[in-house]
Chains A and B, each alone.
Chain A
Amino acid sequence: MRALDGVSLEVRRGEVYGLLGPNGSGKTTLIRMLVGLVAPDAGEVTVLGTRMPDLEVLGRIGYMTQAAALYTDLSVEENVRFFAAVTGAEKNVAEAIEIVELSDRRDSVVATLSGGMRQRASLACALVHQPQLLLLDEPTVGIDPQLRVQFWEYFRTLTAAGTTIIVSSHVMDEAERCDRLGLIRNGHLLAEGSVDDLRRQAGVDRLEDAFLKLSGGPAE
């Protein structure tokens, strides 16, 4: 089975690029390929102008995995500090925690935090070294709508500062906030463009309908 087949896409600097597709469509594999955790059987992956995998480029990428991958027996600050030390960015620790609004919980052990707080702490670990490219694998899965809005505010703050964000999601209202979208299904890139582009391409009003139409029917 091929997790991804013939996917070719380009992400522009400073934009929020959304990878939209149902579970199991290949979004995570694509993101893992971008950080060099999976090698493509054919073709190449170029990130920030360098062919992956490349250790130096990894220092300029922030990667937030689907589940909040944290050391649950350490505090928020200890987690962020660890990932900061790995990328040589210890001086940003307080700022990163500030961005995700966890300053008052910075000494709390992760195991005692709610799912939403863990997710925020995880984001802080991914952005502490001020990466040029932020890869977020379903960052808002399982968190409440209010926090989701908050996350998108963080993302916009970051892109305003020049960060490029690639975010995967299967939630339509979230996809509408992206500058450009790539629709993925069964490992194929079905369509690409801004929300308006995709709606026009499909000749429908709602992005959800556009997705269904472009992917040739309801998800199985």
Chain B
Amino acid sequence: MNGRRVLAITRRLLQQFRRDHRTLALLFVAPLVILALLGYLLRGGGSAPAVGVVSEDSGPLGGAVATQLLKSSKVSASEMDRPTADDRLRAGTLAGYVLFTADFSLRGRQGVIAPEIHLEGTQPGPAAAVVGAVTAALQGALASTGTRVAPKIVYLHGGSNLDSLDYLGAALIGLIVFFLVFIVTSVSFLRERTQGTLERLMATPLRRAEIVIGYMLGFGLVALVQAVLVLLFTLYVLHIHNEGSVGLIFVLVALLAVGAVNLGIFLSVFARTEFQAVQFIPLVIAPQVLLSGIFFPVTSEPIPLQYLSNVLPLTYAVYGLREVMLKGSDLTTTALQVDLLVGLAFAALVIGLAAATLRRRVA
């Protein structure tokens, strides 16, 4: 062991870092940005889930609990009638609603507090918040008189038989395909640039569109095989809940893969080495993992982050996949139509951007 030789290597590494400002910036800035984002996401006074309060109670108890709920800071509660609550629950603008039936006070006097909690059911976070807020409101409204609290929970989608994997699985299929396809394409296209073969291709009669579409088909094909595998595994080995059409899941995943291929081609322009291409992971992937609603529902994010979430392509893929797999939506569902259209628009946008980076006459 020779200290001088060891230090020679260390010094050389530091010299290389000094030349690569981007890597340095990434090492020192990216963790702070990601942590700040996460901090803001979780502590930034995210919007409380919207909850409806429907009181059909003929006695006083329903009103008392409702008053407590309306004051709760855990949820953003508002009173409404039952048909409105049902509509809004279906439209996804309510995380849930609490129903105090006509006999609520009566049964309360008999010692059973039995509110009905209707939950949207596709997102575990808000569901827990709703149940928690209702429980707290009940405790506030009642003197502890040994009454039994037995809320009846009704799920619009899914239900209590869904576990975390069911919620995450749908979204993770999208994330896995997007992430892997993006990385493989960007590195592979970068190699095409660095090894000089792209220069060579540009000196042939190949058109830009032909290169982009060729890439799209090649990687798209591999991505689809991957998607089949991921889907079969999640559906038949992990038994993830799926109410919708497997074909529709495919369409969503294929769109996402096409978008990822072209995003990879486009972003490869901004990297000189494969090392730098890998740096896109924290820049492109990390924010989408945090903000696309996979782990934290978009609707409960702080408002400014919601704007950001709503321009991320993965957000729509996650919505779409949950729409199909948890709600069983089909092409007649407006929400799914929107997700598909956004997916198409994103794919078209990145195809255009990718083709634009292949301009001839550019060094």
Residues of A bordering B, CB below 8 Å: 32, 35-39, 53, 55-56, 58-59, 61, 63, 65-67, 69-72, 83, 86-87, 125, 135
Contacts and interface: CB of A to CB of B under 8 A. Distances in A.
B39 interface: no
A37 B195 contact: no
B163 interface: no
Interface stretch (B71-79, B203-211, B284-292): B203-211
Given A69-B195, A70-B195, A125 B200 contact: yes
Contacts of A35: 202-203
Nearest to B198: A69
Given A35-B203, A37-B199, A69-B199, 11 more contacts: A37-B202, A37-B203, A53-B360, A55-B205, A56-B205, A63-B203, A63-B204, A65-B200, A67-B195, A71-B197, A87-B205
Contacts of B197: 69-71
A86 to B, nearest CB: 5
Interface of B is mostly: loop
Interface in B181-211: 195-197, 199-207
B204 to A, nearest CB: 5
A18 to B, nearest CB: 20
Nearest to A55: B205
A67 B195 CA distance: 8
B192 to A, nearest CB: 9
6 contacts: A37-B202, A53-B361, A59-B205, A65-B200, A83-B200, A86-B206
Contact of A86 (B199, B204, B361): B204
A69 B204 contact: no
A44 B196 CA distance: 25
Interface of A is mostly: loop
Instruction: Kindly name the residue among B200, B206, B207 whose own CB sees the greatest number of chain A CB atoms within 10 A.
Output: B200
B201 A86 contact: yes
**Chain B, interface residues (CB within 8 Å), range:** 10 to 19
B35 interface: no
B204 A83 contact: yes
A58 B361 contact: no
A65 B192 CA distance: 14
Nearest to A60: B205
Contacts of B362: 37
Contact of A69 (B200, B207, B363): B200
Contacts of A66: 196
Given A63-B200, A86-B201, A39 B361 contact: yes
Contact of A59 (B195, B196, B204): B204
A86 B201 CA distance: 8
Given A70-B195, A70-B197, A72-B195, A86 B360 contact: no
Contacts of A53: 360-361
Nearest to A59: B205
Instruction: Kindly name the residue among A37, A53, A63, A66 whose own CB sees the greatest number of chain B CB atoms within 10 A.
Output: A37
A28 B203 CA distance: 14
Nearest to A71: B197
B204 A87 contact: yes
Contacts of A36: 203, 360-361
B213 to A, nearest CB: 14
Nearest to B214: A86
Q: Would you list the 10 A-B pairs with minimal beta carbon distance, nearest first?
A: A69-B196, A63-B203, A35-B203, A39-B361, A59-B205, A55-B205, A69-B200, A69-B197, A86-B204, A58-B205
Given A65-B200, A125-B200, A37 B205 contact: no
Interface string B344-363: 00000000000000001111
A86 B206 CA distance: 7
Contacts of A61: 203
Contacts of B206: 86
Contacts of B361: 36-39, 53
Nearest to A88: B205
Contacts of A32: 199, 363
A63 to B, nearest CB: 4
